[in-house]
């Protein structure tokens, strides 16, 4: 017979806190992975185009916008996970995280649209690179919407 108190930082298996912790852990891993993936894409763009390419800075800024939003989303998920593991009500935490992910998704699409339009006006020769990098970064918005479920 175990006389030690149960660890309060470990959710009860199969309970609401356990499901919330699992969902938030997946969200954290996916958003952190997206941040790393967008960084790798930016590095590949820099290596493939060279420093004298007109597509380098437009592409890097669009990928960096996605990377920044992915980093913020990972922080939101990590904070939510920490709160659930500390004993906060799981439904309250997951509702707040879902709302923030939705706001981040919307903000990313708006930022990418404005940035892409600005770069197309500033450097019409880089229109293909601008659209390609914007489409790569906007995939994060889709991922954030899927993670809200």
Q: Is residue 70 domain-resident?
A: yes
From CA 137, how far away is CA 131, in angstroms rounded? 10
Give the confidence band of 4 by pLDDT, cuts at 50, 70, 90.
Answer: very low
Q: Is residue 4 domain-resident?
A: no
Q: Is residue 8 domain-resident?
A: no
Query: What is the predicted pLDDT for the residue at 9?
Result: 57
Q: Is residue 1 domain-resident?
A: no
Q: Is residue 90 domain-resident?
A: yes
Query: What is the predicted pLDDT for the residue at 149?
Result: 81
Query: What is the predicted pLDDT for the residue at 13?
Result: 67
Query: What is the predicted pLDDT for the residue at 66?
Result: 96
Q: How far is the CA of 29 from the CAs of 34, 101, 112, in angstroms?
A: 9, 14, 23
Question: Is residue 70 predicted with pLDDT exceeding 90?
Answer: yes
Q: Is residue 9 domain-resident?
A: no
Query: What is the predicted pLDDT for the residue at 12?
Result: 57
Q: Is residue 115 domain-resident?
A: yes
Q: Is residue 57 domain-resident?
A: yes
- Domain count for the chain, please give it: 1
The domain in which residue 37 lies consists of 16-147
Q: Is 69 exposed, middle or buried (0-12, 13-18, 19+ CB in 10 A)?
A: buried
Is the separation of the CB atoms in 1 and 117 below 8 Å?
no
Higher pLDDT among residues 108 and 49, named by residue: 108
From CA 135, how far away is CA 117, in angstroms rounded? 13
Q: 6-31 pLDDT, tens per residue?
A: 555 555 566 889 999 999 999 999 99
């Amino acid at each position: 017979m175990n006389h030690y108190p149960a660890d309060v930082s470990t959710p009860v298996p199969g309970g609401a806190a356990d499901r919330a912790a699992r969902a938030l852990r997946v969200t954290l891993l996916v958003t952190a992975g997206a941040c790393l993936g967008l960084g790798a894409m930016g590095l590949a763009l820099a290596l493939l185009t060279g420093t004298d390419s007109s597509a380098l800075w437009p592409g890097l800024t669009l990928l960096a916008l996605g990377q920044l939003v992915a980093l913020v989303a990972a922080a939101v998920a990590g904070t939510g996970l920490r709160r659930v593991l500390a004993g906060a009500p799981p439904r309250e935490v997951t509702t707040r995280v879902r709302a923030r992910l939705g706001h981040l998704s919307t903000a990313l699409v708006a930022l990418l649209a404005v940035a892409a339009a600005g770069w197309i006006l500033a450097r019409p020769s880089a229109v293909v690179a601008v659209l390609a990098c914007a489409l790569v970064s906007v995939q994060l918005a889709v991922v954030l919407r899927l993670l809200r479920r």
